Amino acid sequence: MTDDDDIKNDLNGNGSYDLVTPQDYEYEHPFNFLHGGSIPRLNIRYETYGTLNADKSNAILICHALTGNHHVAGRNKPDDKAPGWWDHFIGPGKAIDTNKYFVICNNCLGGCSGTTGPASINPETGDPYGIDFPVFTFEDMVEAQKLLIDHLGISCLHAVVGGSMGGMQALVWAVRHPDRVKNVVTMACPAKQNTQAMAFNCVARAAIFEDPGWKEGYYAEQEGYGPMVGLSVARMMAHITYLSDFSLEKKTHRPADPLPGDTPTARFKRAITPPIWSYLRHQGEKFLGRFDANCYLYISAATDFFNIAGDKSLVEAFAPVQARVLSVGISTDWLYPAWQNREITIALNRAGKEAYYAEIEAANGHDSFLLRSDHLNDTVSRFLAGGSPL
Amino acid sequence: MTDDDDIKNDLNGNGSYDLVTPQDYEYEHPFNFLHGGSIPRLNIRYETYGTLNADKSNAILICHALTGNHHVAGRNKPDDKAPGWWDHFIGPGKAIDTNKYFVICNNCLGGCSGTTGPASINPETGDPYGIDFPVFTFEDMVEAQKLLIDHLGISCLHAVVGGSMGGMQALVWAVRHPDRVKNVVTMACPAKQNTQAMAFNCVARAAIFEDPGWKEGYYAEQEGYGPMVGLSVARMMAHITYLSDFSLEKKTHRPADPLPGDTPTARFKRAITPPIWSYLRHQGEKFLGRFDANCYLYISAATDFFNIAGDKSLVEAFAPVQARVLSVGISTDWLYPAWQNREITIALNRAGKEAYYAEIEAANGHDSFLLRSDHLNDTVSRFLAGGSPL
C-alpha cells in the first residue's frame, strides 16, 4: 500500500478527527509457527474504534496490507499530519460505521509497528531477532489475531475485512476458523500469490539483501544504518505496482527539457532523474523512516507463500467456509487483476456458499481500494448489514 | 528485451545458421547532439544480411531495443550458443526475406556493443567517456543511423523496422526523414513514453547510481567492478516488465515448501529466494557480462525523452510522413499497452496517411514481438511486399 499524505489528506480532510490510543496485548506464552520455530512471548499492538456491544457480536477485524499497520482510522494526537490509512472508510456514519460496529485493527505478526517481529528484541539474547525470527505465513498471522480476539472475549467476529495482503488474511480466517467469523470482505487480492507479484517481491528482496548495509541480516546489532539504498529501491519499485500509469501521470509532468545554461553534468543528471523520479524517491525515503528491512523480507515472503487452496482445488478448499463473502476487484489493478477476485466468488458459489463479487471502476490501480469510492462504501456497508451488496 | 537463450534456441533451432561478420563504419568527423555537446568521431558497428540490389532500393534497417545490439540474425561463429536475437524473423525465406531484402542492423548510438557510447574511450582523454558522454535522444540515434545509410549509398530505405525502443526509432525516421524511408513497421511501442514505464526506468537507474560501485559514474577508471548489484537489480526488475504473469509462471513453480530438515537459516533463505528468484537472478547475472551501467542510464533516459509529437498533436506531428506505416500491438503487453499502437495508426489515418494496425494475440507480454508468430510473420511480409497486411 502507498503512503501518500497528499492523497490521505485530500480524501480524509472532511473525515473523523477522533483520537485513538494504541493498545498492547502481551501474550506471555510461547508462540509456535506453522513452518517451525517459536518465540517465547508475543506482543500484539492494536487499536479499537467504537464500542463492543453486550453480547460481543458487533466486532469487525481489519487486516492491513504489506506495509500498513494498526493505525487504521482517527488520529493518535490532535496535530497528527494525517489520520489513519483507512479513515475515510471507518468511523461514525462511514462505510464501516463505528456507531454500530466495534472495529479492531492490529499490527500483523512480524510487523515493525509494535507487534513482535524481526526488529523486536529477542528476550533470550537481548538483541533484535533479525533473521533468527521464525519464517511465518498468513496462517501464523491469523493465529496471532485469534489470540487477540480470544483475549477480547469475542467468540465470533461480525466480519473480517482487508485489501491486498489484508484480503488474503481475511480468506484464511474464512477457511481456518469458519465458526469465528460471520462475514468476510476481501479486496484486490488473489486466491494464491501470482508469479508476477512474487517476481516483483523477489527483486525488492534482492535489492535489500544484496545491499552491503544488510550485513547478512544483522545490521541492527552493528554500526551503520542498514540496507537503506536497497530498502528505498524496493519501495520505489513496489510503489509503481500499487498505482496505474494514469495515477503516476497525475503526479508529475514530462521530463524537463534541458535548460539552455545546463552544464553537461547538469544535463545528464536532469536526464536520469525526471520529475517522476523525485516523486518515487520521496516515497522511498519516507518509507525508510517507518519500516524495517528484515520485516520487509519476512512479510513479503509470507505473501509469496499464500495459496488458500494448498493442494486442493479452490472449490474443495472453500468447503469449510461458513461466512458470507464479498470479494471486490479493482478494474485497473494489474498487480492482482480483478479476475482473481472474481475467481474467489465463483469458487465459493460452486461450493454452495453465499458469496458476492463487486468490481470497482477506479483509475488508480491496485491501491484504489484505499481511496474514497461511493460504490465501494455502499457495497461494503450493505453487505455488512446482511443485505445483498449488489 | 529479454535475453533468454532457452527461448531463442527453442524458437530458432530450425532457423538460419548463416555466418555473419560485424562491420564498422568510422565516421571521422565531429558528431553533434540534439541536446548539446559533441564527440570528435563516431564508430558505428553493424551487420548486414542478403544483397543490396543494383539500384539500392531493397534495404531494410532494423532498430534494436534497449539492451539489444546489431547481431540480429545468423551466427558470428559456427559454435555460437544461440543465433541473433531475431533470427527466426530475418533470413532466407523468413518474414523479412534476405533472398529479397538487404537487411542492416547497427548497434545504436550510445550502445556498448561496438558503437561509440559512454563505455568507449574518449580520444581526448584516453579514458572511457563515462558520464561525460553527451545526453542523447532517439533523434540523435537516427542521425547516426542516417550517416551509416549515407555511407552505404542508400538514398531511400525500403523499410525501417523495430519493436519497443526500436519501434520508437522507426517512428522518428518516418517523421524526420520522410523522403528516406518507404515503409515503417513499429511494434509494441507508444507515440510517447508513458509515465509508468518512465517510473520503472527511474527505479532501475536509482538502483544503479545509488550503488556505491557506480562511483559517481567513473567506475571504469577506478578499481573495482562497477555497480554490479544495482545493474543486476535493474535488469531483474526490467525483465519482469517484458513478460507476463503467464510467461513467468511457465518458468518456474510455486515457492518450495520448507523441508523437514531445514535449519531456521535455511528456512529463511528458502522463503526469501523462491525458484522465480533464481530465474531472475540468472537473467541479472547474464546481463552484467554484456552491458555497461552508464550505457543503461543513458539509453533508458533517451527512452524517457521520447515523444514523437513534441508540442504538437499527434495528427499534426505526422503531417510530414510519406512512408506507409504498420503499427503492431501485443495483446498482453502491459509495459506499452496495445492501445498505444492503435493510437499511432488512428492518428496517421487522421493525417491522411496509409497506415495499418495489427494486434498479435500472444500470452507472453511485451517481448512477444520477439517470439515466433505466424500472424506477425504473415502481416509483416505482406506489408513489406506492398500489399495490405490485414
- Rounded distance, CA B71 to CA B18, Å? 12
Q: Which CATH class is domain B5-199+308-384?
A: alpha beta
Name the residue in chain A with its Cα closest to that of B205: A272
Nearest-Cα distance to chain B for A57, in Å, is 38
Q: Do A36 and B262 touch (CB under 8 A)?
A: yes
Q: What percent of chain A has pLDDT over 70?
A: 93
Across the beta sheet with A355-360, what order do the strands follow? A23-27, A42-49, A102-106, A59-63, A159-163, A183-187, A324-330, A355-360
pLDDT attached to residue A174: 98
CA angle A352, A142, A198 (to 5 degrees): 85
pLDDT attached to residue B251: 86
User: A312 CB near a chain B CB, below 8 Å?
Assistant: no
Nearest to A276 among B199, B212, B252 (CB): B199
User: B377 CB near a chain A CB, below 8 Å?
Assistant: no
User: A256 CB near a chain B CB, below 8 Å?
Assistant: no
User: B125 CB near a chain A CB, below 8 Å?
Assistant: no
CATH 1.10.1740.110 boundaries in chain A: 204-298
Element (H, E) at B349: helix B338-350
Q: Do A267 and B297 touch (CB under 8 A)?
A: no
* Model pLDDT for residues B281-313, shown as the tens digit of each residue: 999 999 998 999 999 999 999 999 999 999 999
Residues of chain B with Cβ-Cβ distance to A301 below 8 Å are 271-272
pLDDT attached to residue A18: 80
pLDDT band at A256 (very low <50, low <70, confident <90, very high): low
User: B274 CB near a chain A CB, below 8 Å?
Assistant: yes
Q: What letter does residue B351 receive in the DSSP assignment?
A: T
What does the H/E/C string look like for A197-227?
Answer: HHHHHHHHHHHHHCCHHHHHHCHHHCCCCCC
Q: How many interface pairs between A and B have CB atoms less than 8 angstroms apart? A: 167
pLDDT attached to residue B171: 98
Nearest-Cα distance to chain A for B356, in Å, is 26
Q: Is the ipTM of this complex over 0.95?
A: no
pLDDT attached to residue A372: 95
pLDDT attached to residue B5: 52
**Cell 494448498, residue located:** A310
Give which of B274, B251, B261, B247 is closest to A302, Cα–Cα. B274
In chain B the first and final C-alpha atoms are separated, in Å, by 26
Q: Do A280 and B36 touch (CB under 8 A)?
A: no
Q: Which residues contact B104 (CB under 8 A, 6 or more apart)?
A: B46, B47, B48, B59, B60, B61, B62, B148, B149, B152
CA angle A140, A355, A57 (to 5 degrees): 60
Q: What cell was used for A21? A: 490510543
A56: region left, alpha or beta (phi > 0 left; psi from -120 to 50 alpha): left
pLDDT attached to residue B217: 93
Residue A58, CB-side half-sphere exposure with 13 Å CA sphere: 16
Residues of chain A with Cβ-Cβ distance to B245 below 8 Å are 194-197
* Model pLDDT for residues A160-207, shown as the tens digit of each residue: 999 999 999 999 999 999 999 999 999 999 999 999 999 999 999 999
pLDDT band at A5 (very low <50, low <70, confident <90, very high): low
Pick from A200, A216, A237 the residue to mutate for testing the B interface (most B CBs within 10 Å): A237
Residues of B acting as catalytic residues: 164, 333, 366
With H, G, I as helix, E, B as strand and everything else as coil, classify residue B187.
strand
Mean pLDDT in residue range A31-52: 96
Mean pLDDT in residue range B202-226: 89
Mean pLDDT in residue range A378-384: 98
Q: What letter does residue B56 receive in the DSSP assignment?
A: S
**CATH domain A5-194+308-384 topology:** Rossmann fold (3.40.50)
Q: Are A165 and A66 in contact (CB under 8 A)?
A: yes
Q: Which CATH class is domain A204-298?
A: mainly alpha
Output the pTM of the full model: 0.94
CATH 3.40.50.1820 boundaries in chain B: 5-199+308-384
* Chain center to CA of B296: 12
Mean pLDDT of chain A: 93
pLDDT attached to residue A1: 61
pLDDT attached to residue B2: 62
- Rounded distance, CA B390 to CA B202, Å? 38
CATH 3.40.50.1820 boundaries in chain A: 5-194+308-384
Nearest to B233 among A210, A262, A298 (CB): A210
pLDDT attached to residue A14: 45
- Rounded distance, CA A141 to CA A68, Å? 14
Q: Which residues contact B219 (CB under 8 A, 6 or more apart)?
A: B130, B213, B225, B226, B227, B293
**Cell 518465540, residue located:** A39
- Rounded distance, CA A165 to CA A308, Å? 12
Q: Are A140 and A33 in contact (CB under 8 A)?
A: yes
Query: What DSSP string describes A59-126?
Result: EEEEE--TT--S--SSBSSTT-SS--TTTTTEETTSSEETTT-EEEEEPPTT-SSSSS-TTSB-TTTS
Give which of A386, A378, A330 is closest to A354, Cα–Cα. A386
pLDDT attached to residue A204: 98
User: A253 CB near a chain B CB, below 8 Å?
Assistant: no
Instruction: Report the DSSP beta bridge partners of residue B358.
Output: B328
